[in-house]
Chains A and B, each alone.
Chain A
Amino acid sequence: MLEISKLYKAFSLEAGFFAPVGRYVYAVNGVSFTMKRGEIFGLVGESGCGKTTTARLVVRTYPIDDGSIVFTDNEGAVFDVGRLDHKRLKLLRSKVKYIFQDPAKSLNPRMTILEVLTAGYRYQESWPGKRQAREEAAEMLREVGLSPDDLERRPADFSGGQRQRISIARALITQPELLICDEVVSALDVSIQGQILQLLLRLREQYGFGMLFIAHDLAVVSYICDRVGVMYRGMLMEIAPAQRLIEAPTHPYTKHLYASVPTLEPVAAGDPEAGQHARGRRAGGARTTRFGEVPDPTVPPAGAGTELMQVAEDHYVSALFSA
């Protein structure tokens, strides 16, 4: 469904007259992966690792520097994202929808929910007319657990979790085939996160869309994703099924990342004395490895574009930084 190969993107630092000349932030450096139809693929990594830039390139928020992104829709139509004309790009963007992290910032406070849901839809070729669109919007609100009565209300009337449901309804109204979820539960309370994840899983069951799921919370990613790619300095270090990355992380960076996640230690349970400071007691830990501080992003990393090696079925690892 989605095939990304040797993708590159650098941002110029020349923002003004006094800015340094000819310096770039190398955000994405030779990323390649493919997604199957209906699959949930996760991208994880620390801030600045290029996961959001990769996702944004899929809907061509910025021009692609090098490499290609090819999306094939259910009818077999092929979209070479880097080379689409305006009309085809619009069509692509109705099939690939983006959901943002902060629903408070991504919903226009002046619009009613009906306007929010249909603002983009009305420019699509599939726009069915006002009356029909209103019915579809009402139906979509019901699907995400809200009421059709909410169509006339405004975003401020809703809580964070409800607003994220509205964002999901807005994305789904054009019947997309791929959803890009960029940190969609990060801004929500713990007890609300679960609701949204379950909702996404249920809707995927029903509509069969795939998801490119970006999050820094490894527990969330491992829960919802089929396969996960680990990014570091704009490059993929490891790709494997979600469960396999937890049980058999192979790349040193993956190990470092996964070892940092706090867990409710079983030892913490039971014995209140022994339970203290699971973290402190964990021998060695991942504390002071060479991945401690991310290097300067204005220096392009050596080895960008190196192909990953297959180490097991569905499990690929980069040779970079592993010695």
Chain B
Amino acid sequence: MLLEVDHLEVEFATGQGPLHAVRGVSFEIGEGEVLGVVGESGSGKSVTAHSILRLLPGNGAIVGGDIRYRGGSVLQYSPAALRSFRGPKVSIIFQEPGRSFDPIYTVGKALEETLRAHNPEMPETEVRERSIQLLRETHVPYAEQRLHNYPHQFSGGLLQRIMIALALASDPDVLIADEPTTALDVTIQAQIIELLLELKEKRNLAIIFITHNLALISEIADRILVMYGGLAMEYGAAGEVLAHPRHPYTRALLASILILGEHYSKETLHTVSGGTPDPRRPEPGCPFAPRCPLARAACRETVPALVADGTYHRCILAGEKPEDLYARD
């Protein structure tokens, strides 16, 4: 397996004691696969992704579980091994491309720096050729001329394309995309999704796509991981999770998103009452229990184990959930 995350646990040290941001998350991703990670704010989805690159802030630490790349534990890597892992093996792009560039360098310079970081000997002409080639691959128009432009001279959509070009400069196997389209308009979002799918095909690139938008994930993911309160609530094939969600949280999430063309009448939208759990005040039991219409006393006592039945899901009521709980009319 290309990349495996195995019972990952992440803690942050805070003034009020340790904050358990990720509480045992497992998934795997093979070559050319797209894993969609969906969750609301505070669900631990970004922390999970950043942990893969060991990019946690100073007060964060991986306290349990393992991350394996082609069988070897990333957690055991020496600093040198980590340097040749970040970039050449796994690369990452972020939400706001405008904030990920140094404004005083041209994008050509940014590409050159990345290319040279992994190949210090690369001659000038090759750097230039590779840079142009990368910009063409990500469909940046007038690639040659635009190498000389500064980040502020690009629109958000184009900057995100250049960000992707930068991530590809080190020729990774896995691309982590952390809410790459959240700051962009829907029209540009559709273009970026299309670009990612094209790269996946051409380069056999594996993608970990993080978002809060379940509709968006249905357009790109082969498999879906649904996170809530630092836990993997459901994990399985995209079609299965979307068509036959087993977990009440996945079902609630699917029922509460608005789909263009399906919701005309102002009556049909289901809403989930309550708010997302506060990781600073964890409660025992299933984190969704306070908002779950099916919750019973046992749900509030212990965190349910993962059950494999069509999908992996974490619910003690597996198998006895009435199908029409959130039926759409």
Contacts and interface: CB of A to CB of B under 8 A. Distances in A.
A75 B215 CA distance: 45
Given A262-B218, A286-B187, 16 more contacts: A189-B40, A190-B214, A194-B269, A194-B270, A194-B272, A195-B271, A195-B272, A222-B260, A246-B261, A268-B238, A268-B239, A276-B222, A276-B239, A280-B194, A287-B190, A287-B194
Contacts of A197: 269
Contact of B40 (A191, A246, A247, A258): A191
Contacts, number: 165
B253 interface: yes
Interface residues of A, number: 58
B122 interface: no
Given A216-B185, A268-B218, A278-B218, A198 B213 contact: no
B220 interface: yes
Given A263-B215, A275-B243, A191 B187 contact: no
User: Residue among A260, A263, A276 with the most chain B CB within 10 A?
Assistant: A276
Interface in A254-292: 256-265, 268-280, 285-287, 291-292
Interface residues of B, number: 51
Interface in A127-151: none
Contacts of A269: 239, 242-243
Given A262-B216, A264-B218, A279-B190, A47 B185 contact: yes
A256 B187 contact: yes
B218 A260 contact: no
User: Residue among A218, A219, A247 with the most chain B CB within 10 A?
Assistant: A219
Interface string B224-263: 0000000000000111101100000000111011111101
Interface in B155-206: 155, 157-158, 185-191, 193-194, 197
Contacts of A46: 185-188
B33 to A, nearest CB: 10
Given A219-B258, A223-B258, A272-B239, A201 B222 contact: no
Contacts of B99: none
User: Residue among B40, B253, B266, B273 with the most chain A CB within 10 A?
Assistant: B266
Contacts of B186: 46, 216-218, 257, 260-262
Contact of A275 (B157, B216, B238, B276): B238
A134 B247 CA distance: 44
User: Residue among B219, B221, B257 with the most chain A CB within 10 A?
Assistant: B219
A275 B286 CA distance: 30
A243 interface: yes
Interface string A221-262: 011100000000000000000110011000000001111111
Interface in A43-57: 46-47
Interface in B275-294: 275-276, 291
A153 B220 CA distance: 43
A246 B260 contact: yes
Interface in A176-233: 189-195, 197-198, 201, 216-220, 222-224
Contacts of B187: 46, 256-257, 260, 286, 291-292
A193 B261 CA distance: 18
Contacts of B215: 219, 261-264
Nearest to B158: A293
3 closest residue pairs by CB, A with B: A272-B239, A275-B239, A269-B243
A322 B189 CA distance: 23
Contacts of A161: 275
A12 interface: no
B250 to A, nearest CB: 12
Contacts of A193: 256, 258
Nearest to A226: B266
